[in-house]
Structure 1
Amino acid sequence: MHAQHPKSAAALLQHLQHVLGIPTDHANLQQEISRWQELHDAAVEGDPQASAYVQMLEHRHDQLVEQNMPSGDDLAAELEEFLRNQSDDDL
């Protein structure tokens, strides 16, 4: 398989394997992933503007993940509410 973006292809196949319960043979993508990563890293490292842009995107992604992450207290409260709403037969 020659995917344009082998990391995405491997992630999709892995997700399909998980959801459908059907084994997918995507181990052969590892070599393509390594090669793609090398080319990507070389391109970004060779261009300061691209490097700064990638760093900005990574920072923005980290901020979004942190904003959407519930606190431990929120998770505990949600679990307690869920358990309160369960009948004895459900447990």
Structure 2
Amino acid sequence: MELTTITYYQVSYVEGFLAVVRYTAYNPDGLPEAICEDFYRDDPDDFCRLEEDVEKALLNGIDTSIMSAYEQDYFPVITAFLQL
């Protein structure tokens, strides 16, 4: 079984941004195969998109690093994964 990691960093607030997330997928040899970052606006649509994207990534074996000015418990789906 492969381990998938989630990390959460609380950072300084930047006007208009909810979070920045870096997604990292690895090949079978354990080397990074793809890395991408996504920026999420501080609005309801991107809040939902953030939670859905993080859940989808983690369930598919993609490591996730989240940076947001909000406390982690502001995000129920993310918090559930952090507490596993």
TM over 0.5: no
Higher relative contact order (CA 8 A, sep 6+): 2
Q: TM-score, normalised by structure 1?
A: 0.26
Identify, as 1 or 2, the structure richer in strand.
2
Whose radius of gyration is greater, 1 or 2?
A: 1
Taking structure 2 as the reference length, the TM-score comes to 0.27
More helix per residue: 1 or 2? Answer: 1
